[in-house]
Amino acid sequence: MQRYMFDATVMVVCFALLGFFGWHASYGPRGFDNQNRLIARVVELENDHSGIKARREALDGRVALLRPETIDPDMLDEAARRTLGFADANDLIVR
């Protein structure tokens, strides 16, 4: 009788664990039911990443124009005059 109770207890515990893991595999936060939601989130994050990457590349291009070894003197002069609000008497200002 004692052997039978031990076997029954082990069987109940195993079925309980199997049910627990089975339920989480189906309905848990990373289960089969939520797979479409997770795929949609991955697509959304990939789109955000590509937008941020494009913006970073544009900013890198602007920064590259301001490096001392590649700076255009005319562009520097134009940016300084625009920022400071100064113009020479012979300058033509187009707005």
| pLDDT tens for each residue of 9-48 | 999 999 999 999 999 888 888 888 788 888 999 999 999 9
Sequence ranges of the domains in the chain: 1-33, 34-84
Cα distances (angstroms) measured from residue 47 to each of 51, 52, 53, 57, 72 = 6, 9, 10, 15, 35
Q: pTM for the full model?
A: 0.48
Dihedral (Cα; 8, 14, 15, 20), 10-degree rounding? 150
Phi, psi of 87 (to 5 degrees): -150, 145
